[in-house]
A and B are shown apart, each in its own frame.
Chain A
Amino acid sequence: MKRDTTCYLVVILLTNMTLTSETQEKGEISMTIVRTPEIQLDQVSMLYKTDTTEVLALKDVTVDIKQGEFVSLLGPSGCGKTTLLRIMADLIQPTNGEIKVAGETARTARLAQKYGIVFQSPVLYDWRKVKQNINLPLEMLGVKKAEREDRVDSLLELVGLEDFKDKYPWQLSGGMQQRVAIARALAMEPEILLMDEPFSALDEFSRERLNEELLSIWSKVGSTVVFVTHSIPESIFLSDRVFVLSPHPGRLSSIVDIPLPRPRTQGMRNSPEFFQLISDIRDSFEGV
């Protein structure tokens, strides 16, 4: 609780520092934005019903996710972390409870095209070349052609795939395909980036490299990120906070702050703090 307040003050201080020549009024406006949680879940439950059985996938999840925050949903399979993400994305509606995104419903946020989603598999359209896949959301938004080209080019550069822009998805490795999917999700400059185990199909090496790349991209775009994973080190390396979920029924069992400084480096993975956090999170599982 105490650490929470400290972080909070630091955020306000930083906001004020960046506003050197601005008026006090404007500073206050910015502060209120910082204070507003981007995603609020209140007593959210999800009950899946079939003819014979009922499965409570999520039970009474209440959390706030702040704007610009990087949050991980961590847990074993069956803990409802993907369900939770899909509720935030308005792909499914909770059976109970309420979700607010920037003060509005999740549906309003989706219709306002605030979401960028990266799925477990890249979900690239086979008939589109790499650049055309990244271009897709821009076409949907009705962005003008010249602007689209510029933006696609800078996104290709961001994910390091300039040389592959004219390739079809099948000509790319799994890691490259997932990078295209990330570039596509970023194309519409989403306020909120939702990622559902995006690197789970990749080997450990590509995964760690992409973790670092993701953070460097995030530091440039500053979206709010909700990242689903079942890897404890991955969640620690990436996040500001880790939401630990437990199964049967899926529920939030603890929230772990990650005080590691940014930018994060691969070296941090071997630091005592990192190992301490791993064991903290392990404990929070066993305490359930």
Chain B
Amino acid sequence: MGMQSVLNRRWLPTFVWIIGLVLFWELASWFLLHVSEAPMAQSKIPYIHELIITFTEYGTTLFIEGRATFSNAAIGFLLGAVLGVTLAVLMSVSKWIEQLTFPYAVASQMIPILGLAPIVYGIMRDEQVARILIAGYITFFPVALNMLRGLRSVDTSALELMYSYAAKPWMIYWKLRFPAALPGLFSGLKIAAPLAVTGAILVELMGAQNGIGVIMLRNLYYGPSHNYMFWSTVIVGAFLGVMSYLIISLLERFLAPWQADFRTNGGDR
């Protein structure tokens, strides 16, 4: 009974918002199409019910292509995350390594992905590898930066405690620095995950055999007749981004549950 009311209280506002938004959208779409008679009205604000029809019709295609994009992005993301964490650890161990690598890590982020993607594709001549590399490339920087900050967030007394136990350096990392860095690591991962998906889609736009980006581009070329399909691919792309974020958030709840954000009593969150 109590559980039920909590659920209602939590979900009711969301539910009302969604219904309201859908109604508003449908109304705006109808207005653009029939009242103001804007050119290519359905490309601007398409009917939601038409999109739902497209989804039921082409669901399998969208699923298969979306899966291809997502798995490539995921592999690249994992690769970039491992690289980012490794670099952060090395930089935290040695100031020398930090001075040697950090400026280049920053500089690497100045290169526009839109320009880098075709270059990588040109070198690798393999869409799969190119997608993975770009996703990894996007991931590594926010992960390295946030992980490094996390590793450094340890306060002096916490270190002195380890010192008083005559702890070996690797023990200090294992028992203190790594756990202390987990919240930082996760904020880096949460920034990077949706970006990795976007990166993978971007490479697909450059030319690939499969992936959500490919049908996105194709349906854009076909023009207004394929408008609903184009919109569907955009929605799938967004959905993949949100999914990646949610997966990381869920993981964070399990692996770093002590954080202030997750505290249930105290505060009015």
Contact = CB atoms under 8 A, between A and B. Distances in A.
Contact of B164 (A110, A125, A128, A170): A110
Interface in B167-203: 167, 171, 175-176, 179-180, 182
A137 interface: yes
Contacts of B155: 123
Contact of A170 (B180, B182, B263): B263
Given A110-B164, A140-B165, A126 B175 contact: no
Nearest to A169: B258
A140 B175 contact: yes
A180 B39 CA distance: 71
Interface string A232-251: 00000000000000000000
A28 B40 CA distance: 104
A117 B161 contact: yes
A188 to B, nearest CB: 8
B165 A123 contact: no
A240 B179 CA distance: 41
A137 B157 contact: no
A168 B179 CA distance: 14
A193 B157 CA distance: 16
B258 A119 contact: no
Contact of B175 (A119, A136, A168): A136
Given A127-B179, A170-B258, A91 B160 contact: yes
Nearest to A119: B157
A139 B176 CA distance: 13
B256 interface: yes
B166 interface: yes
Nearest to B259: A126
Contacts of B158: 123, 125
Interface in A98-150: 110-113, 115-117, 119, 121, 123, 125-128, 136-137, 139-141
A89 interface: yes
B157 A140 contact: no
A67 B219 CA distance: 84
Contacts of A140: 162, 165, 167, 171, 175
Given A119-B157, A168-B258, A91 B163 contact: yes
Interface in B229-269: 256, 258-260, 263
Contacts of B164: 89, 91, 110, 115-117
B157 A127 contact: no
Contacts of B182: 127
A125 B174 CA distance: 13
Given A91-B160, A139-B175, A170-B263, A127 B258 contact: yes
A27 to B, nearest CB: 34
A127 B175 CA distance: 10
Contacts of B259: 126
Contact of A125 (B165, B167, B179, B256): B179
B172 to A, nearest CB: 10
A110 B260 CA distance: 34
Contacts of A141: 165
Contacts of A119: 157, 160-161
A183 B157 CA distance: 17
A113 B175 contact: no
Contacts of A117: 160-161, 164
A141 B168 CA distance: 11
A126 B258 CA distance: 7
Contacts of B167: 140
B180 to A, nearest CB: 7
Question: Which of B166, B167, B256 counts the most A-chain CB atoms under 10 A from its CB?
Answer: B166
Question: Which of B163, B171, B256 counts the most A-chain CB atoms under 10 A from its CB?
Answer: B163
A89 B163 CA distance: 10
Nearest to B160: A91
Contacts of B175: 136, 139-140
Interface of B: 155, 157-158, 160-167, 171, 175-176, 179-180, 182, 256, 258-260, 263
Given A128-B179, A140-B162, 19 more contacts: A89-B164, A91-B163, A110-B163, A112-B166, A116-B164, A117-B160, A117-B161, A119-B157, A119-B160, A121-B157, A123-B155, A123-B161, A125-B180, A126-B180, A126-B258, A127-B256, A127-B258, A141-B165, A170-B263
Interface of A: 89, 91, 110-113, 115-117, 119, 121, 123, 125-128, 136-137, 139-141, 168, 170, 188
* Pairs A-B, 10 closest by C-beta atoms: A140-B165, A123-B157, A127-B179, A111-B166, A127-B258, A117-B164, A119-B157, A126-B258, A168-B258, A115-B164
20 contacts: A89-B164, A91-B164, A110-B164, A111-B166, A113-B166, A115-B164, A116-B164, A119-B161, A123-B158, A123-B161, A125-B176, A125-B179, A126-B259, A128-B179, A136-B175, A140-B175, A141-B165, A168-B258, A170-B258, A170-B260
